[in-house]
Amino acid sequence: MTEKNKILVAATPYFIAEQSVPEQDRYVFAYTITIVNEGTVPAQLLERHWLITDSNGKIQEVRGEGVIGEQPYLKPGESFRYTSGAILETPVGTMQGQYTMRSDEGDDFAASIPQFTLSIPRTLH
């Protein structure tokens, strides 16, 4: 990834207790993603690819167009924020992945989504 195609991705996860049913191994999490174009060329998010892993090692792979039904177009310095969710069978898990971006110059490139932890409160110290 060159400096012209530089996308920063940050995640803020949180547990949704009112939608979770621990006795049925259902743990619901939401996460807010912020995507910032720190490069010098406008780019559009085309696709997402997620790996969601629970603490039993079960991996859910999610691929699709855009995010929350959108394919945001970001000029240099612009950001896009959205909230989505994941359901795990364990109280702790991780998410990571990448977005496929396309610059105005026609280059496709990957924007990495750093791994983050999904955890019910007071589970990890």
1-20 pLDDT, tens digit per residue, is 458 999 999 999 999 999 99
Whole-model pTM: value is 0.92
Q: Are 86 and 48 in contact (CB under 8 A)?
A: no
Domain count, the chain: 1
Q: What is the mean pLDDT of residues 114-119?
A: 97
CB 29 within 8 A of CB 74: no
Supply φ then ψ for residue 16, to 5 degrees: -110, 90
Domain CATH code at residue 86? 2.60.40.1470
Q: Is residue 2 part of a domain?
A: no
Q: List CB contacts of 72: < 8 A, sequence separation 6 or more.
A: 35, 44, 45, 66, 80
Q: Establish if 93 belongs to a structural domain.
A: yes
Residue-number span of the structural domain to which 12 is assigned: 7-119
Q: Is residue 31 part of a domain?
A: yes
Q: Is residue 28 part of a domain?
A: yes
Instruction: Note the pLDDT tens digit of each residue in 73-113.
Output: 999 999 999 999 999 999 999 999 999 999 999 999 999 99
Confirm whether 125 is domain-assigned.
no
Q: How confident is the model at residue 122 (pLDDT cuts 50, 70, 90)?
A: confident
Residue 124: inside a domain? no
Answer whether residue 88 is part of any domain: yes
Q: Does the pLDDT value for residue 123 go beyond 80?
A: no
